[in-house]
Structure 1
Amino acid sequence: MDIKKAIQIYLDWKESHTTVAFKNYKIRLAQFEQFIGEATKLRSLTGDDVVAYHKKMEQFYSSATIAYSARILRNFFYFWHGRREVDFNPKEIIPIRFINPNKDIVTKDDFQEMNELLDENYYDDLKKKLVLHLLWDTGMRISELCDIEISHISKENEEGLRTAKVRSRKSMRYNLVVWGRQTNELLTKFLGIRICQDVATDKLLINIKTGKAYTSRSIQRWIKELADLAMLDKDITPHSFRHGKANYILDEGGSVRDVSAILRHVKPESSFHYMQLSTKRYLDVARKFVIA
């Protein structure tokens, strides 16, 4: 079997259970196919071919991208190793270790400065203001935000507040998210306009001109523009709000368990690295357990 056919079979299998990962895997595997040659036989490949490919990538890509590529190729070869179509052990493919630079987080002050730039009496500003509030209040992932549909939003409770069910693309499970009164007021105002729009999609955030849902790239662009206008000396992304939410929970006396619950982590251990978002907080905790 040649590598081109092997990749297509693998991608068909991948798409059957995870459409998001499928798109990323397709890009990386196409690059590997181009490097190795589409007519190359799958069984002839070895770990040395993968090493040579990643050596080539070092000329153009970051360590993080190369590590991601290694995980994809290891997954790909494990798939075919299980079907006894490759002879080498995929355990040979080891993602490189690298130091991840500290990521900028959004603080409450950052959020407020960006928020004050927007006037909710204008539709475009209202839309962006709602996005800011949802990101800050819930710590949701950008994919979860883009996927929210009107039908996922609950009716107002006795206090006039709503909640929503959002789906994690990692676990494919729906989880409940809650927000504060200010966010709820913005949502109510926005929904009054949104439900009057005659479009085919039920997505909450749509482009009026095209009638299609906004993509994550659009949200990323809005956040970058607002951060620049607020003159924040940080590399702010939508995910920075998620990190900021975790930091805020811990600063307000919450525990790592609270972070795990509110950010809806699939693996509880994912919450522990947030302890080091604040150097001061980490040192305060660490010093409790050293000999005086």
Structure 2
Amino acid sequence: MSLLQFFQNFWYNCFKKYFLLAVEGATPTLKNIWVQAQLIRVTGFCIFMEQHIQEFLEFKTGGRLKKSSARDYRNSLNKFNVIVGKPLEEIKREDIVKFRNILNMSYAPKAVEHHFNVVHCFIKFWNPEVKTISHERIEVPLARSNPRLTITEAEHKQMLSVLEENNYHDLQKRLCLQLLWDCGCRVGELCSINLDDIDFDNRKVKIKTEKTKKDRVLFWSEDTHKTLCKILPIRWEIKRSNALFIGMYNTGEYSDRLTSKTVQRWFKQIKLRASIKREIVPHSYRHSRIQRWINTGISLIEVSYLSGHNNIASLEHYMRLGTAQVEAVARKAM
């Protein structure tokens, strides 16, 4: 036993007695899950599969997995570790069933599918060493997808209309929306734009595509460029950092770079101000831009490059028609 494992077991046993007293009336299964969850909260780990989880995450983050995705993987695997409550070498099919049943009690179908996909990937990674269960026997429950709504030009203009043109914070939000509309980039890519990479003469910027890590160029309109030129002197005066977009902490200090969560929060606020009821999100801009590219008649290879996809097959779910589009096509064909 390593020194780390010794201390893990020591702290585990110290806290376990205390937590068992707190859940005296619970059933054995729920008691065990609750105890393991509290141990993770207090000590930061659950010992059963921790070493395997750590090695798996190190392997994934060494590839193309984003930090935020790594956190999601860790979250899913922590749940798996807590609910199953045994070493990886001892896991059997009934443990997978128990994991699914407990998730179904607390999570939406789409979240259950996501957690199962991560566990499936984890088991597949360790299958050469683990003989008790195969990843091929783990059926990932498929959830019904939410409709992928695109944002219309009228909605885009409506959202821009509620933003003031003489307010820096509103100008920054306006520029975000305009770039999303013109470029169809992912929100993370929008936040990653650096001032040094912008070609002001040709209205373009070079970015790293979020999923493939390849270089890609984004282009924007004259109107968007006017907003950019208007915001730039104020932006440079506020903070001398390389990021185009900067956020703000609760203390009132400016951060070095805007985060995706802040953009999502902004979007909800602007949508509320604009009295838009439809369930659109920042990613709706990407769906709208890709569909508009396709409608102009350019080839799918060109759309794939402009949108930062590795292959044409990735565009399939962007090409699905919404209810209104299906009705329009059906009536046109009559």
TM-score bin (small chain) = 0.7 to 0.9
**Alpha carbons 1:114, 1:226 under 8 Å: kept:** yes
Structure 2 gap segments, 5+ residues each: 1-46
Distance 1:279 1:260 in 2: 24
Question: Aligned residue for 1:45?
Answer: 91
TM-score calculated relative to the size of structure 1:
0.87
**Alpha carbons 1:165, 1:177 under 8 Å: kept:** yes
Question: Aligned residue for 1:192?
Answer: 233
Question: Aligned residue for 2:75?
Answer: 27
| 1:90 aligned onto 2:135 | yes
- Tell which deviates more after alignment, 278-287 or 231-240: 278-287
Letter in 1 for 2:83: F
Aligned to 2:142, what secondary structure does the other structure show?
Answer: coil
Higher helix share goes to which structure? Answer: 2
Residues 1:30 and 1:114: Cα distance change in structure 2 (over 3 Å):
same
Letter in 2 for 1:184: H
TM-score calculated relative to the size of structure 2:
0.77
Once the two structures are superposed, the pairs formed by residues 1-292 of structure 1 within 5 Å of their partners are 2-17=48-63, 18=65, 19-37=67-85, 40-82=86-128, 84-157=129-202, 162-199=203-240, 201-207=241-247, 209-254=253-298, 256-279=300-323, 281=325
Residues 1:282 and 1:276: Cα distance change in structure 2 (over 3 Å):
farther
Aligned to 1:99, what secondary structure does the other structure show?
Answer: coil
**Alpha carbons 1:148, 1:203 under 8 Å: kept:** yes
What is the deviation of 1:8? Answer: 1.7
Distance 2:255 2:150 in 1: 33
Two-structure CA RMSD over aligned residues (Å): 2.5
What is the deviation of 1:138? Answer: 0.7
Distance 2:136 2:291 in 1: 36
What is the deviation of 1:285? Answer: 6.8
Q: Give the % identical residues.
A: 28
Distance 1:265 1:41 in 2: 38
Aligned to 1:165, what secondary structure does the other structure show?
Answer: strand
Aligned to 2:164, what secondary structure does the other structure show?
Answer: coil
Superimposed CA distance per residue, residues 71-110 of structure 1 (whole angstroms, 9 cap, x where no aligned partner): 111111111113x134321111222123213132210110
Distance 1:101 1:20 in 2: 22
What is the deviation of 1:155? Answer: 3.8
Letter in 2 for 1:26: R
**Alpha carbons 1:107, 1:248 under 8 Å: kept:** no
| Stretches of 4+ aligned residues off by more than 6 angstroms | 283-288
Larger radius of gyration between Structure 1 and Structure 2: 2
**Alpha carbons 1:146, 1:215 under 8 Å: kept:** yes
